[in-house]
Each structure stands twice: as structure tokens, then as C-alpha cells.
């Protein structure tokens, strides 16, 4: 997961982020070392936004278990977070929250809002997918076409070009729906979990996937067919993959075993870029901001940042954190 670009109003064709107002840069950082269920949380966890001075500012609830966040593109005060309890929603910019699910949904892995139908929210959970059409006031499972078993869903990503077109990264592969999860079909078969799905901010037909045992994948037809990047090793899990929103040639992968892998030729060749990172790579996530600065969250260490797309790294803030998501959030419609 997930550098996710929402772009209301530019729903078809190529998108130029450079022409839009600078998006907000938001992360989910969990700094929960030695936390066990029931103990006091002594660190500040959850949503952080990078302010104009470059500092990370916490907002929302202090929750050690957040895995993903999504915003209503019309109103950024409407926030959805995927968490251990399921789905939390705020209508007031994170001041107050509602747990939207009951006991039948748990350990949510990802959440996404359809930019073309922004009352519709998709939730990836440990045993499938749930959907809301009323801003998460109610949630129902929509799993027709997903397998009875093997639907552990780690990633869910919405095609910004068409309402109801969604890809899900599951234990058994990548699944596509084109009718808002009324029907799913498998478009890529995997034997382990598909960990991340990303739609290019430059060309919405291009999608990337990071998988546990099938390497990194690219689709150039909107996620219908997939091919592995030959230069990316597949013997260890890849945790996430990201585009550089400032440069369509540049891609990056985060991985515990390999650290940071980057490509500057649209995936034709890949290089490990770990100089300046701690010796044991243990990269949890990579992400890029609007200017193309690359970030790496290193397990048990801190957030690192690179101004030269991984050639050199410098420590950033948030010591001891795990960043579960980097999110570029375009300014709200109003």
C-alpha cells in the first residue's frame, strides 16, 4: 500500500498533478513498540500530515492499529480509516469517530472511496470485501466472484476513470469488478497475497502490483492483464509499490528482504537503493511526495527521505514508526 492519488474533476485520461494545487501529504504512522492489547498507548499513532514547514502534524484519533486511510474527495473532513476494529469514519476532520462495522468485520486492511461515486466506500478485510453506498453508515459484503476461501484482501484500489471499477489484491490473486463489487472476476492468479495495487497518476491505464511471491507486476490495460517485471526478484515478499508523481519513468518498491528497489525507466531495469538506510533493510513502505522526494519507512527505525530517488537517504522524523501508507491527497473540491 499505497500512494494513492485522488483527482476529482480529472477523471479520464492523463492527469497532470503539476497543474493542480499542491496536494496534502498524509501518512499513517504507528509508533507502538511494546504495545499490547489493553495497555496504555504512550506514543502518538495514526494520521500525520506534513505541514508547510516540513514537520509531521498528528491529527485524528490515537490508534495503534490503522492500516489505511481514505478521504471523501468532496470534503476532506470526511475521513475513513481501516483499523483493527474495522472501519472508522469521521465527519469532522478527525475530531470524532464512528466505528462503522459490527463484529462480523474485523482487522480491516485497506479502504478506498470511489472518486466518481464518493458515497461509496470499499473496505478490504481479512475475509473479503465490504461495501457501503451511504458513506459507511451501513456496510454489506459484496463478494460474488471472490472465492469462498482465499479472499484475504490486503489491497483495494479504485479506477479513477470509471465509477464502480475496482481492483482487489487478495490471497489468491487480483480480482476486478466493473459494477461496484456486484461481480468480481480474477484477472491474475497468485498463490500468496497480493500486497499492493496502484494506479498510475500519469496514465490511468497503467497499474502496478506488489505481491508476496509473484514479484512486481504491471498492467497497461487498466488491470485486465498483468505481466511481471523481469528485473524484480520474486523469492521474497514485496510490501508495496509506488509511482513517482513527478516523473512517470520512476517507480519504487519497498521490501523487508530487498530494501528499496527503484526503476527510472518505467520498470525496464531495477536497482537496489539502500545506501544510507540501516544495515538490515527491513523496508516497510516506500512513498513519494508531489515533488518526487522518496520516503522509506524502515521497521524499528525511523522514516527516511531521499532527494535523489534513493541514491542517498537521510533520517526524517517519527523514530520507531511503521508507516502503513503514504497518501497524496489532492485538495478537496470545496
Partner 1 sequence: MKRLMLPHLALLTAACAVAQPSVEAPPPSRAPVPDAALRREAYHRRVDEVLHWRASGAGRPDPATMDMAAIAIKLTLREDLDLCSARVIEMMKDPGTGPFWMFPTVCVAYVGRDLLTPGARAAIRNAWRTTRQLRGDTENHWAMYYTSLYLMAELYPNEPAETWYSGKSSEENLAEARDYLVHWIDLTTSRGQGEYNPTHYIGEYAIPMLFLATWAKDPTMKQRGHMMLDWLFAELAANTLDGVLRGPASRTDEGSVIERWNSLASYFSWLLFGNTPPIGGYGGWGLYFAPLAKNYELPEVIYRIATDRGGDFVQRDRARTRRFWRYSDELSPAVYKTNYLRRDYAVGSTQGIMNDAIQGHAWDVTWAEADPRGKHATMFSLHPMSSERAMQSQFVTYPEPMIKGVTFEGKPSYDSPDKVVGVSYYERVFQDLDTVIALYDLAPGVRFPHINGFFSKDLVNVTEDKSGWIFARGGNAYLAYRPLAPYHWMKYLHRNGGWAKAAEDLGGRLLVSPHLKNGTIVQAASVGEFKDFAAFQAAIRALPLEFKLEPVPIVKMRTLRGKEIAFTYGQAPKVDGKTIDYAKWKLFEGPYLNAEVGGHKLTITHGRLERTLDFNTLTITDRVRAN
Closer residue to partner 1 (CB): 193 or 274: 193
Q: How near is the Cβ of 127 to partner 1 at its closest, in Å?
A: 6
Q: How near is the Cβ of 264 to partner 1 at its closest, in Å?
A: 26
Closer residue to partner 1 (CB): 150 or 233: 150
Return the exposure string of 300-333: e unless at least 16 CB atoms fall within 10 Å of the residue's CB, then b: ebbbbbbeebbeebeebebebbbbbbbbbbbebe
State how far the Cα of 182 lies from the Cα of 164, in Å rounded to an integer: 9
Q: How near is the Cβ of 11 to partner 1 at its closest, in Å?
A: 32
Q: How near is the Cβ of 87 to partner 1 at its closest, in Å?
A: 11
Q: How near is the Cβ of 238 to partner 1 at its closest, in Å?
A: 10
Closer residue to partner 1 (CB): 106 or 302: 106
- Residue 19 — φ and ψ, nearest 5°? -80, -15
Task: Using the structure block, give the residue that is written with the C-alpha cell 470524532.
Answer: 96
> Can you say how many angstroms the Cα of residue 81 is from the centroid of all Cα atoms in its chain?
12
Closer residue to partner 1 (CB): 49 or 126: 126
The secondary structure of 130-170 as a DSSP string is EEESSTTSS-EE--BTB-SS---EEEEEE-TTSTT-EEEEE
Residues with Cβ within 8 Å of 201's Cβ and at least 6 positions away in sequence, in order, are 5, 7, 15, 17, 243, 245, 328
Q: How near is the Cβ of 83 to partner 1 at its closest, in Å?
A: 8
- Is the CB of residue 172 less than 8 Å from the CB of residue 188? no
As to burial, measured by CB atoms within 10 angstroms (0-12 exposed, 13-18 middle, 19+ buried), residue 24 is middle
Task: Using the structure block, give the residue that is written with the C-alpha cell 480529472.
Answer: 10
Nearest CA to 321 out of 55, 53, 64 is that of 64
Closer residue to partner 1 (CB): 6 or 105: 105
State how far the Cα of 36 lies from the Cα of 42, in Å rounded to an integer: 11
Q: What is the CA radius of gyration of the chain?
A: 18
Closer residue to partner 1 (CB): 62 or 225: 62
Closer residue to partner 1 (CB): 23 or 60: 60
Q: How near is the Cβ of 2 to partner 1 at its closest, in Å?
A: 15
Closer residue to partner 1 (CB): 7 or 64: 64
Residues within the interface to partner 1 (CB under 8 A): 33-34, 36-41, 61-65, 67, 84-85, 88-89, 96-99, 102-103, 106-107, 109, 126-127, 149-150, 152, 171, 193, 195, 212, 236-237, 239, 256-257, 282, 284, 299
Q: How near is the Cβ of 316 to partner 1 at its closest, in Å?
A: 21
The secondary structure of 94-121 as a DSSP string is TSS-EE---TTS-S--EEEE-TTSTT-E
Amino acid at each position: 500500500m499505497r500512494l494513492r492519488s485522488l483527482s476529482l474533476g480529472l477523471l479520464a485520461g492523463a492527469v497532470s498533478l503539476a497543474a493542480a494545487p499542491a496536494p496534502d501529504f498524509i501518512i499513517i504512522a504507528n509508533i507502538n513498540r511494546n504495545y499490547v492489547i489493553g495497555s496504555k498507548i504512550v506514543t502518538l499513532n495514526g494520521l500525520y500530515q506534513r505541514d508547510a514547514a516540513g514537520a509531521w502534524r498528528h491529527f485524528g484519533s490515537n490508534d495503534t492499529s490503522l492500516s489505511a486511510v481514505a478521504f471523501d474527495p468532496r470534503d476532506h473532513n470526511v475521513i475513513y480509516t481501516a483499523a483493527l476494529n474495522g472501519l472508522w469514519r469521521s465527519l469532522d476532520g478527525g475530531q470524532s469517530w464512528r466505528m462503522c462495522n459490527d463484529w462480523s468485520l474485523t482487522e480491516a486492511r485497506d479502504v478506498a472511496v470511489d472518486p466518481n461515486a464518493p458515497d461509496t466506500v470499499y473496505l478490504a478485510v481479512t475475509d473479503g470485501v465490504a461495501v457501503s453506498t451511504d458513506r459507511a453508515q451501513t456496510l454489506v459484503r459484496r463478494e460474488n466472484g471472490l472465492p469462498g476461501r482465499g479472499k484475504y484482501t490486503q489491497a483495494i484500489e479504485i479506477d479513477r476513470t470509471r465509477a464502480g471499477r475496482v481492483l482487489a489484491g487478495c490471497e489468491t490473486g487480483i480480482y476486478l469488478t466493473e459494477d461496484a463489487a456486484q461481480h468480481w472476476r480474477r484477472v491474475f492468479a497468485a498463490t500468496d497475497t497480493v500486497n499492493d495495487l496502484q494506479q498510475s497518476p500519469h496514465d490511468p491505464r497503467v497499474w502496478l502490483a506488489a505481491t508476496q511471491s509473484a514479484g512486481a507486476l504491471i498492467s497497461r490495460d487498466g488491470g485486465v492483464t498483468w505481466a511481471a517485471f523481469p528485473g524484480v526478484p520474486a523469492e521474497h515478499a514485496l510490501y508495496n509499490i509506488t509511482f513517482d508523481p513527478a516523473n512517470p519513468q520512476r517507480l519504487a518498491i519497498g521490501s523487508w528482504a530487498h530494501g528499496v528497489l527503484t526503476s527510472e525507466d518505467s520498470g525496464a531495469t531495477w536497482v537496489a537503493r539502500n545506501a544510507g538506510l540501516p544495515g538490515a533493510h527491513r523496508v516497510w513502505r516506500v512513498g513519494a511526495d508531489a515533488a518526487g522526494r522518496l520516503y522509506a519507512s524502515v521497521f524499528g527505525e525511523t522514516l527516511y527521505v531521499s532527494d535523489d530517488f534513493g541514491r542517498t537517504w537521510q533520517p526524517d522524523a517519527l523514530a520507531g514508526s511503521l508507516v502503513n501508507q503514504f497518501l497524496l491527497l489532492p485538495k478537496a473540491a470545496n
